[in-house]
Amino acid sequence: MVVQNVHFTFAPEDGDRVQAMLRELRDASRTEAGVISFDVARSQDDPTVFVLWEVYRDRAALDSHRETEHFQRLVRNGVRPLAKALTGEILSPI
């Protein structure tokens, strides 16, 4: 199992647009064969901050996810260009 945790920060005026894109990403990603879970949250304290918590069967499933049409459209060409800050890490459950 592989876990990916991603934190994005956006300009206040992009928050609602980004939320819609991340919800679409979440819904599409949950249909992928190797995705165990895919959750998106928006900070209650700072609504410009979003966190993704993604759990994949293995690294191959994560790599496959990154090649999907919805990832390309919604992440590479959608939220990433709008992000003011982006941090993430790939984790192994213990």
The CATH number of whichever domain residue 34 belongs to comes to: 3.30.70.100
pLDDT at 66: 97
Asked whether residue 2 is domain-assigned, the answer is: no
Q: Domain range holding 44?
A: 7-88
Asked whether residue 93 is domain-assigned, the answer is: no
Asked whether residue 38 is domain-assigned, the answer is: yes
| 58 closest CA partner among 87, 76, 33, 22 | 33
- pLDDT tens, 22-36? 999 999 999 999 999
Name residue 48's amino acid.
Answer: T
- Copy the structure tokens of residue 79: 């939220």
Classify each residue of 40-70 as buried b or exposed e, where b means 16 or more C-beta atoms within 10 Å of its C-beta. Answer: bebeeeeebbbbbebbbeeeebbebbeebeb
Asked whether residue 55 is domain-assigned, the answer is: yes
Asked whether residue 52 is domain-assigned, the answer is: yes
Q: Are 4 and 29 in contact (CB under 8 A)?
A: no
Q: What is the pTM of this model?
A: 0.94
- pLDDT tens, 48-86? 999 999 999 999 999 999 999 999 999 999 999 999 999
